[in-house]
Chains A and B, each alone.
Chain A
């Protein structure tokens, strides 16, 4: 069981470019969650997805950020026209069907640096 797989581990983008972060949930898990950890801050919820559905995106910035979890393939968090303030660690978590009642498993994160 490979756990939650995130890639890339590190991503450097110039201001104005697009960043794509990928997350493959644990085998048997059908729920995916994205969290952001800004420097010296706690983890903040961004979005909760199931296959082909966004369930809760209340933590997503209104502009430039989008997420998807297609029927096939990993979940993608996309940040368009990145700015320096987007520099952070982005973590993906997954849980079994039914949600977080039995706990969450986190990936190792993608560290985005905007230069």
Chain B
């Protein structure tokens, strides 16, 4: 059974800092991994999707890496801004169960002025 863990559970950084969010998963037989952002009381916004054959994806100040063999992904946020404050979720899509994502419990990020 796939288990997804995100560390840390919460993080507070001053504006302008670069930061790394971690995601680990127990079963490396995945099709892809997706990072989402969730604002309080809102839905999920997809940030980056990494296919199992890829090592990283970039979008603006965000960079996500994937090491499938070790069951790890990181989300790097450069030059953080207060608007980046949200909960960040990673989710994996397992082979053989191409219908259901397994989510981590998220990292709650606060970027302070």
Contact = CB atoms under 8 A, between A and B. Distances in A.
B32 A59 contact: no
A54 to B, nearest CB: 11
Given A101-B31, A101-B32, A45 B46 contact: no
A67 to B, nearest CB: 13
Interface residues of B, number: 26
Interface string A55-97: 1101100000000000000000000000000000001010000
A103 interface: yes
A109 interface: yes
B100 A56 contact: yes
A104 B100 contact: no
Interface of B: 4, 31-32, 34, 36, 41-46, 49, 51, 89, 91, 93, 97-106
